[in-house]
Structures are given as C-alpha cells and as structure tokens.
Amino acid sequence: MAARRRLIHLPLKRTFIAGVGKFAYRFVFTLDVRSPEGEFTEIPFRLDTGTDFMTIPQWMARAEGIPFRKDCPVQPMTAAGRAAKVSYISPVYFSFPQLPEWQFKADCIFSPYTLRYGLFSLTDFVPHFAVRSNKAGVRFPEGSVVFQLRADHGGTPRV
C-alpha cells in the first residue's frame, strides 16, 4: 500500500462559541459504519476524547438501518455523571471513506439521547492509527488532523 493511502486528513473547523465569545476547534467527519450482519452506511461523527466507546444515537441507527443488540444494557458515566437513560453496547465495524479497503471492529454504545452525530473515541483509533495535527494551509484553511495507519493496525480487509 502506498504511503499516501495510509494517511487520512480530517479538516479542522474553527467555530465561534457565542455564549462565551471564544473560538473552539472541532472536526466533523463521516465514517462508514455497519453491524456485523449489515451493510455500510455513512454516519457523521465528532471526535470526543472523553467518551470511552464509539457512540451512535439510537434514532440515527434506526434511520440508517444499523441494528444493535439489546442484551448488554449500560448506563455510561459521562462528564456530567452517570447517564439517566439506558444505552446498549453492541459491536460495529467502521471504515474511513478515505481508506475504504480497511474496516475496524469497535464496541459501540447506542444512546437513547438525541445527538445530531456519533462520537468517535480514542479507544476506536489509537490501536490502529498514529495521530498528528497540521497547521492551516491551502488545502485545509483552518488546519487538519492526520491519521496515519500503523503497520501493526488491527483492521481487516473490507468485505
């Protein structure tokens, strides 16, 4: 595999937070996600270094046809304390559209809360990718985060 195919650039977005009058950096990206039995579908994500597992809202999973098991209920601990509503943990596979030949298995929390996007955790990418940030440039005016596929990654060929 060529070195270029092992790199994924995710653009940073500088967002003004009106309530405090400050700027914050975020990156919003899409992943192809499927259950062990399903087809891949695109889901929007944000990186959340505070979550322990990938998280997809249940409403989005249903809308996108991603089934999830309900035999493993959890009440995740969040930055605000233990979640009041029950979530379910179930396996999924994800793939970056920029690296479509590989898929990676993850334990995913299916949340009853009405998030507008999924949450991507450190647990999901640290075993597979080295990560760095790039300064602003022509291609990415606000900078980017670069994921580099590790030689010892745990991905499998996408089927």
Q: What is the pLDDT of residues 76-107, one digit of tens each?
A: 877 777 888 899 999 999 999 999 999 999 99
Which fold would CATH assign to domain 3-157?
Answer: Cathepsin D, subunit A; domain 1 (2.40.70)
User: Between these two residues, 78 and 111, which has the higher pLDDT value?
Assistant: 111
Mean pLDDT of 114-132: 93
Q: First-to-last CA distance in the chain?
A: 17
Q: What is the pLDDT of residues 136-156, one digit of tens each?
A: 889 888 889 999 999 999 999
Residue 1 is predicted with a pLDDT of 43
Mean pLDDT of 128-134: 92
How far apart, in whole angstroms, are the C-alpha atoms of residue 145 and residue 10?
5
Mean pLDDT of 112-131: 94
Q: Does the reported pTM lie above 0.85?
A: yes
Domain boundaries, the chain: 3-157
Residue 159 vs residues 1, 93, 101, 122, 141: alpha-carbon distances, Å? 17, 11, 8, 25, 35
Residue 5 is predicted with a pLDDT of 66
Q: What is the pLDDT of residues 45-74, one digit of tens each?
A: 998 888 889 999 999 999 999 999 999 999
Residue 93 vs residues 104, 106, 155, 157: alpha-carbon distances, Å? 5, 6, 10, 11
Cα–Cα nearest to 53, from 125, 145, 103, 131: 125
Q: Name residue 102's beta-bridge partners.
A: 157
Report yes or no: 129 and 98 within 8 Å, Cβ to Cβ: no
Q: What is the pLDDT of residues 2-25, one digit of tens each?
A: 455 689 998 888 889 999 999 988
How far apart, in whole angstroms, are the C-alpha atoms of residue 66 and residue 53?
17
How far apart, in whole angstroms, are the C-alpha atoms of residue 11 and residue 126?
19
